[in-house]
């Protein structure tokens, strides 16, 4: 039994029917034409194979007197991999539209806490012959970086490689890596772990106090200064997902001409798209929208060992949606991110996590539905950037043509935009509640327009 660290436990404590706290990965593969039917059968057999399952995929959450009611991970001795994996066919005509509707419905459903918190679907029936793998995993076990590492770990850059494996099985020849979760399984371990964390936080109180002051004054971001928008409504239990990708070179070119990062350019694309979307609804506020931008404390190397747990800080980015000039919006994003990341780098990892737990707690206040919503939201939405690989990958000869992240939303943040670099494209995955964010797919058109405007401006 392993105790769940505080930052991970927040995703268990804050979950409800209206606020599922899992994340999903959507991969689309093109089977080899010369052995398509056999490949499909072999692929399904690899998905349900019960051997070499990673420890993070064999644990379920429990609470007991021995941990004083705290959440802990307990091995599931009755794990049945085949019960976690389904094979589904899309209805005709099998367009990408039907696939995204299916992913939206799958993403709306809670994971079963009586067993390990993951499930997957092999989805056939796409009209162009491709097949999708949809993998859903709980955020208490995986942040964006760890999720990406699990997704790519069993794939190959060589189309001739055989013996590839899905995210929940250890790659051939790789030994199990130690869990990243802290603590043990007894009340004594709980006290020791809590005391150790408290000691670290107390030692970093001056830095934490300074960081909180920076949050309040706007050096790390502008907490509770975001204008109220429809993105801050309470949620229904339904979800919608939309995604598209653009040539990574286009974002790189804009970044190179302005001294910004590629992530800054992606944020500026989001800024322009959000501005246009709200303007179309007649709801564009006079103040700029503010986004929470997660920053990994683990590094961004996707080839590193895939572990579990959350380890990230956050920066509040002023998006400049109140500015009509796309170049000015990019400059605002660049300045806000540079300032916020500099302040975050000044904190040690323990203080960064403590600050993040505190700010996540503030952002999660709307999920406590017995309390009134604050007059102003902490942030308007979350925008993150998850690295993948710069070269295409293969599963036993089938090319992974598309790779999309499907993130979680919650009361107070009804829209999440996640960027993911895969091969030569930058994918944008948009997850939202259809009640608060109707016609989500229109944001994709606005993203395309925003990138064009940035290219023209620079």
| Residues with a known catalytic role | 139
Largest Cα span, the chain: 64
Dist CA 95 CA 93 (whole Å):
6
First vs last C-alpha separation in the chain = 55
Q: Which residue has the tokens 């929940």?
A: 168
Angle between helices 326-345 and 262-280 (to 10 degrees): 130
Q: What is the DSSP string of 67-121?
A: GTT-EEEEE-TT--HHHHEEEEEPPTT--HHHHHHHHHHHHHSPP-TTS-SEEEE
The H-assigned helical ranges of 121-186 are: 144-153
The residues, ordered by sequence, that sit 6+ positions from 154 with a Cβ below 8 Å of its Cβ are 164, 165, 166, 167, 169, 170, 171, 395
Read out DSSP for 365-405?
GGG-TTSPPPSS-S-SEEEEEEE--SS--EETTEEEEEEEE
**Hey, what are 221's tokens?**
């971001």
| Secondary structure class of 64 (helix, strand, coil) | coil
Distances (CA, A) of 8 to 14, 140, 350: 11, 4, 14
Q: How far is CA 331 from CA 177, 319, 327, in A?
A: 42, 10, 6
398 φ/ψ angles, rounded to the nearest 5 degrees: -90, 125
Q: 392 burial class (0-12, 13-18, 19+ CB within 10 angstroms)?
A: middle
Element of type H or E holding 28: strand 22-30
List the structure tokens of 128: 């162009």
454's tokens: 């940035």
Q: How far apart are CA 227 and CA 133, in angstroms?
A: 38
**Residues 212, 362 contacting (CB under 8 angstroms):** no
Contact between 421 and 180 under an 8 Å Cβ cutoff? The reply is no
């Amino acid at each position: 039994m392993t105790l769940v660290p505080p930052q991970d436990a927040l995703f268990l404590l804050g979950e409800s029917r209206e606020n599922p706290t899992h994340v999903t990965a959507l991969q689309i593969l093109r089977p080899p034409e010369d052995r398509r039917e056999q490949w499909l059968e072999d692929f399904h057999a690899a998905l349900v194979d019960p051997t070499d399952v990673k420890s993070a995929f064999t644990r379920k959450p429990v609470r007991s007197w021995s941990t004083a009611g705290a959440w802990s991970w307990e091995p599931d001795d009755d794990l049945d991999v085949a019960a976690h994996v389904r094979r589904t066919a899309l209805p005709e005509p099998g367009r990408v539209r039907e696939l995204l509707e299916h992913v939206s419905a799958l993403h709306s459903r809670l994971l079963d806490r009586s067993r390990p918190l993951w499930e997957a679907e092999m989805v056939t029936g796409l009209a162009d012959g491709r097949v999708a793998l949809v993998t859903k995993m709980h955020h208490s076990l995986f942040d964006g970086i760890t999720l990406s590492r699990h997704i790519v770990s069993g794939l190959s850059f060589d189309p001739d490689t055989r013996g590839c494996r899905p995210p929940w099985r250890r790659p051939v020849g790789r030994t199990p890596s130690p869990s990243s979760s802290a603590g043990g399984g007894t009340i004594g371990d709980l006290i020791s772990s809590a005391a150790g964390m408290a000691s670290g936080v107390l030692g970093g109180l001056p830095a934490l106090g300074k960081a909180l002051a920076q949050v309040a004054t706007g050096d790390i971001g502008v907490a509770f200064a975001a204008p109220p928008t429809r993105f801050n409504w309470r949620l229904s239990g339904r979800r919608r997902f939309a995604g598209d990708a653009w040539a990574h070179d286009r974002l790189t070119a804009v970044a190179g001409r302005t001294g910004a990062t590629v992530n800054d350019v992606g944020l500026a694309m989001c800024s322009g798209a959000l501005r246009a979307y709200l303007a179309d609804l007649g709801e564009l506020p006079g103040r700029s929208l503010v986004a929470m931008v997660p920053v990994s404390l683990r590094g961004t190397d996707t080839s590193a060992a895939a572990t579990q747990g959350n380890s990230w800080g956050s920066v509040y980015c002023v998006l400049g949606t109140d500015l009509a000039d796309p170049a000015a919006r990019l400059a605002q994003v660049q300045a806000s991110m540079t300032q916020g990341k500099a302040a975050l780098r000044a904190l040690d990892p323990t203080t960064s996590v403590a600050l993040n737990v505190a700010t996540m707690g503030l952002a999660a206040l709307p999920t406590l539905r017995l309390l009134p919503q604050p007059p102003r939201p902490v942030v308007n939405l979350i925008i993150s950037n998850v690295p993948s690989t710069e070269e295409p990958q293969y599963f036993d000869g089938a090319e992974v043509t598309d790779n999309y992240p499907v993130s979680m939303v919650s009361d107070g943040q009804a829209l999440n935009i996640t960027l993911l670099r895969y091969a030569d494209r930058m994918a944008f995955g948009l997850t939202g509640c259809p009640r608060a964010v109707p016609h989500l797919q229109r944001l994709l058109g606005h993203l395309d327009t925003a990138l064009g405007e940035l290219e023209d401006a620079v």
